Structure 1
Amino acid sequence: MSLLFRYLTKNNAFILLPTLAVGIGLYVLTDLFERLDNFIEAGLSVGMVFTYFIVKMPLVISQILPVIFLLSTVIQLCIMARSRELTALQAGGISLGVVANSMILCGLFWSGVQLGFSEYLGVAGERESARIWQEEVRKKNLAATVLTDVWFTDGDWIVSLGTLDPKAHGTGFSGFELSEDGLSITRIVQAASYTAEPGRWALRDVHVYTPDAFSQEQVPDFVLPLRQDPETFRLVNAGTKPQQLPLWQLGEAIDQLKASGSNVETLRTAWHAKLAYAASILVMAFVATAIVSWKDNIYIAVTIALVCTFLYYAVYTLGTTLGQRGMVSPILGAWSANIIAAVLSMWRLVPMLLRRV
């Protein structure tokens, strides 16, 4: 590890951490003012309000870290340009590309930090803050939420569920077994109630109909080896955002729902968007270097950085929306903002670096 790299990374951390603290403070104050009336109406204690924002903090950090890294890197490079440090480095044979490499390594480190916050602490914190908001403020009992009218396919079976409660119990089970060619129904299974777990759906008070034989059979208990995990439906129901699921859990939900014939474009886009957002910090290292190589005045550079941030989030939001609606592929929708930002930055940096070489 070179002395220059240690110097650059230390300065980057010294600027980034205070900037991050200011960003967190602004975010929390804005959120507090927006929700203050709700907290007061719900009669929440100061301790509960404090807990709400504490558990939400990792998610806030993961959300604002890309723009904080961009601003801190721009400020750092502008200060170095103003103090003639960049000029001294170039006079000593150290090009801007070496400085850019150090910033890229810093971006890679903070990308890992962002991914860790969003997928571990951020997921747990978001769920807890959502629980506090729904149960303590909105007075809703999430543990008693019951899903209704659920349909899915599993192998040769098409299944309809009347209700599904949080403990994987339900009523109104109807299963239709298809023939090998999928053109006819070979068996119909209906049950008054059931208990579900992957690989074993235990039905009670069951009627089994065989259309080809015009026969009917009634049994007290019946077990179907359906692979569908009922928890999947609870994770991706309308009240749960895909961003609240960690990558591995979201991937499992995508595989299970895809196997059951469900449309998973929204979930696939969310999965790629998580990785793309973490990688955006790495892209911001290119953007910051490109900005300062063009204008090293700190006021102009910071203004340009803020404009670039606005444009990035606009493209990112548009891309993910198009991906979720199936208008573009999930990969392209999630990564389009990173691709555009990286290409425009390299369009500025590569010719400049080649000329200096």
Structure 2
Amino acid sequence: MQFDFFPSRTLTLYLAKMFVTRILAVLVMLVLVLMMLDLLSTSGDILAAPGNGQGELLTYVGLRLPQLIARFLPYSVLLATLIMLVGLNQNSEVIAMKAAGLSAHQVLAPLFLTAGLIALMSFAFNERVVTRANATLKAWETVEFGPVPAASDVRANVFVNDGRNVLTAGAVAGTGAAMAMREVTWYGRTPDGMIVEQVRAPRATFASPGWRLEDARRFTVQDAGARDVPELVVGEGITPENIELAQVDPDTLSFWDLSEAIDRYEDAGRRTSELRARWWHKLSGPLAALLMPLLGSVAAFGLARSGQLFFRALVGMALGFAYFVVDNAALAMGNFGGYPPFLAAWAPFLLFVLIGETVLIRTEE
């Protein structure tokens, strides 16, 4: 028996290249199919905006593709693992490797190495590409696919209180005194919470103090009348700092930016368990790619002629998809405060590492 964790250099490169090609093939297939279906359902809304055409459709594709790649990369690793290992089993290559003295873990070692590199690239891709695409796309959807927001720090669907009154904005861009809002709505309310007026405006800027609504339309409940107001200042108790703390979307922030946002929330005495769970998940999420070869390894071993190969492949697929279900459920529990943030992000990964190792050792080692 060989005692090195990795097999020979030739065998390691052979398995790694085979694994990478299958991951890419499955990922391209999934992303292209899902992108076409998504574009078919969304293209009508995009083209409905005045002035939009083929260029805006391509812009949407460019913003949506990173989301699909990030979401379905772990699934691609799982399916590529099953396709590859079933093929190796059917061609008796796994039997040849075990006859040469390799253990099950040594057979899977090149897959773990490749999946680990993919997990690192996935983390970097999420940080540098996906978060920015999420921020721009959400802001673009908020303005119903109108002019594409140029700011990179756009936040969508902001809601903030000014005492009993409420200010909402479809999109907010900029920081400090240069902050500007789009699709703004101001609700004036009585002390008992009844709305007495509503003001809508396409744009608002910081008036220091308050927010200057431009080209607004004001509706008052008392006389059920509406009239145009060229300019109106509201929300004098709301500062740009309040806006920045009003909503933090973890999907649009990088790991380090989200860490800073959590610190600001804690300094302000705000609840941070949901953000902290998503912060931990930015680390544990990409590691799902590292877990897939272990969960799918049950398809690699056992005699193909025994008639159980298809069943083993189904078991590997079931384990992989069960992980995604448990991971989403745990993260939801963390968002509601049912689990501590660290447990919500890491418990599914650690649980399925133990399950995968137990299945592998009990059946093959």
TM-score normalised by L of structure 2? 0.70
| Contact map agreement 1:75 1:298 (CA 8 A) in 2 | no
| Contact map agreement 1:52 1:132 (CA 8 A) in 2 | no
Equivalent in the alignment of 2:111: 103
**Residue 57 (1) aligns with residue 65 (2):** yes
AA in 2 matched with 1:2: R
Q: CA deviation at 1:269?
A: 0.8
SS in 2 for 1:86: helix
Q: CA deviation at 1:319?
A: 0.4
Q: CA deviation at 1:60?
A: 1.6
**Residue 254 (1) aligns with residue 258 (2):** no
Equivalent in the alignment of 1:215: none
Counterparts in 2 of 1:1-357, with a 5 A limit?
2-43=9-50, 44-137=52-145, 148-149=160-161, 166-169=174-177, 193-194=208-209, 230=240, 233-234=243-244, 237-238=246-247, 241-293=249-301, 299-354=310-365
AA in 2 matched with 1:4: L
- Count residues in correspondence: 290
Cα offsets for 1:210-260 (capped at 9, x unmatched): xxxxxxxxxxxxxxxxxxx956843x644x531211000000111111121
| Contact map agreement 1:272 1:334 (CA 8 A) in 2 | yes
Q: CA deviation at 1:289?
A: 1.2
AA in 2 matched with 1:149: N
SS in 2 for 1:137: coil
Q: CA deviation at 1:292?
A: 3.2
Q: CA deviation at 1:101?
A: 1.5
Q: CA deviation at 1:293?
A: 3.2
Q: Distance in 1 between matches of 2:72 and 2:168?
A: 40
AA in 2 matched with 1:126: N
Aligned in 2, Cα 1:104/1:331: closer, same or farther, shift over 3 Å? Answer: same
Q: Distance in 1 between matches of 2:273 and 2:88?
A: 45
AA in 2 matched with 1:342: V
Q: CA deviation at 1:30?
A: 2.4
Cα offsets for 1:46-73 (capped at 9, x unmatched): 1111111113222221111111001101
Q: Distance in 1 between matches of 2:121 and 2:68?
A: 13
SS in 1 for 2:337: coil
Listed as ranges, the gaps of 5+ residues in structure 2 are: 1-7, 180-206, 211-238
Equivalent in the alignment of 1:178: none
SS in 2 for 1:149: strand
Equivalent in the alignment of 1:156: none
Q: CA deviation at 1:17?
A: 0.9
SS in 2 for 1:78: helix
Cα offsets for 1:161-204 (capped at 9, x unmatched): 9999854249xxxxxxxxxxxxxxxxxxxxx9459xxxxxxxxx
Q: Distance in 2 between matches of 1:274 and 1:87?
A: 38
Aligned in 2, Cα 1:41/1:97: closer, same or farther, shift over 3 Å? Answer: same
Larger mean CA deviation between 3-12 and 118-127 belongs to 118-127
AA in 1 matched with 2:161: D
Q: CA deviation at 1:279?
A: 1.0
Q: Distance in 1 between matches of 2:140 and 2:156?
A: 15
AA in 1 matched with 2:20: A
Q: CA deviation at 1:126?
A: 1.6
Q: Distance in 2 between matches of 1:24 and 1:233?
A: 36
Equivalent in the alignment of 2:216: none
| Contact map agreement 1:80 1:86 (CA 8 A) in 2 | yes
Cα offsets for 1:130-176 (capped at 9, x unmatched): 2332235268987998864269xxxxxxxx99999854249xxxxxx
Equivalent in the alignment of 1:207: none
Q: CA deviation at 1:268?
A: 0.3
Q: Distance in 1 between matches of 2:156 and 2:15?
A: 53
Q: Distance in 2 between matches of 1:69 and 1:144?
A: 32
| Contact map agreement 1:269 1:333 (CA 8 A) in 2 | yes
TM-score normalised by L of structure 1? 0.72
Q: Distance in 2 between matches of 1:111 and 1:232?
A: 36
Q: CA deviation at 1:89?
A: 1.0
Aligned in 2, Cα 1:302/1:237: closer, same or farther, shift over 3 Å? Answer: farther
